[in-house]
Structure 1
Amino acid sequence: MLSTILAAYPWLGIAAVVAAVVVGLPLGWWVASRSRVAWVLAAVAAAGVLVATLYPTGRVVEVVCVLGRDGTLAGPEPLANVALFVPIGLLVGVASRRPVLGALAGVVLTVAIELVQALVPAIGRSCAMDDAIANAVGAALGAVLAVIALQLPRRGAPDRATAADAAARR
């Protein structure tokens, strides 16, 4: 179904990536001081990814797994796969304050999804190396956004370490 929509509207893939970046950076900045909210949003994003990638399609899969690379990241479907994993990299990176962990979480999640797709043909989905690569790129992009969001200054909120250092010097 998603492939049909993306074929009809090829601009949706790039629009999804742009939207993930445009919305992701301020969201990452906002949740940077709210780690519980960031973890909850990361869990919601992961649940959405799992539903989108593992919900049974009702079709019979002829090719269980495509291991070769047969495309680029420039097409609408690969770009949609990139956009799908930006929130995982961003939110886990911000929540943990370790952006590399966000990228790693996205890679682990995509490998797990592709394994399930390969090992459970009854769900009607086939795994693809291109999907895993696009998802990993999305998680890495999310981690880059997390780095930026964690570096952005906060107005009106004094840095806790600075306030504690000032109190200790008195």
Structure 2
Amino acid sequence: MITTLLVAHPWFSPAVLAVLVLLGPPVGTWLLARPRTAWTLCGVSLLPVALLTLVPTGREVLERCAVGWALPTFGRVELMANVILFVPPVLLAAVATRRPVLALLGGLATSAVIETVQALAPALGRSCDTNDWLSNAIGSLVGAALAAVAIRLERRSRPARVR
């Protein structure tokens, strides 16, 4: 259903990514002073991740795991959606902890766990795919980079300490 929507509207994924890139740093800067809010939003942003990756589809899995390394492009709507899916939770976790590298590692690990569950539970009707993991990793990297920009902006805006 989501893929059908994205194929019908190929501009949607690039537009969402552009909004995330433009709004990520200023919103992240604002959330730096509100870590509880950032954690709450992070939890909310993980709901689509769980729903789109772990809810059973009812289809029969013909290939348990696909191995390939294709980079996401605007024409590959499903891979672009996988990029976008991981930007918000990693950005929000990085802002909440003020540790973008740790949030990046968490995003990579979360994606690996999802792909492992998909491989080990064919009853879900989902198959693991290294391309999905790669796209999630790119999204995690974007989220961590946006958080790093937000942290840097916040540090620059602080008044200098008087000695």
Give the structure-1-normalised TM-score.
0.86
Q: Give the letter for the 1:143 counterpart.
A: A
Shift of 1:84: 0.7
Instruction: State the superposition RMSD in angstroms.
Output: 2.1
Structure 2 regions of 5+ residues with no counterpart? none
Contact 1:31 1:94 in 2 (8 A): yes
Instruction: Count matched residues.
Output: 161
For residues 11-62 of structure 1, the C-alpha deviation after alignment (integer angstroms, 9 at most, x for no partner) is 2221221122123222211111111111111122123211121111111111
After the TM superposition, list the runs of 4 or more consecutive aligned residues in structure 1 that deviate by more than 3 angstroms: none
For residues 67-126 of structure 1, the C-alpha deviation after alignment (integer angstroms, 9 at most, x for no partner) is 223x33102221111111001221111111111011111101100111111111111111
Q: Does 1:72 align with 2:75?
A: no
Alignment of 1:54-65 (within 5 A): 54-65=54-65
Task: Report percent identity of matched pairs.
Answer: 45
Shift of 1:158: 6.0
Q: Does 1:16 align with 2:16?
A: yes
Contact 1:88 1:105 in 2 (8 A): no
Q: For residue 85 of structure 1, what is the aligned residue in structure 2? A: 86
Matched residue SS, 1:152: helix
Structure 1 residues 105 and 145 mapped into 2: Cα distance closer, same or farther (>3 Å)?
A: same
Shift of 1:143: 0.5
Higher Rg:
1
Matched residue SS, 2:116: helix
Give the structure-2-normalised TM-score.
0.89
Structure 1 regions of 5+ residues with no counterpart? none
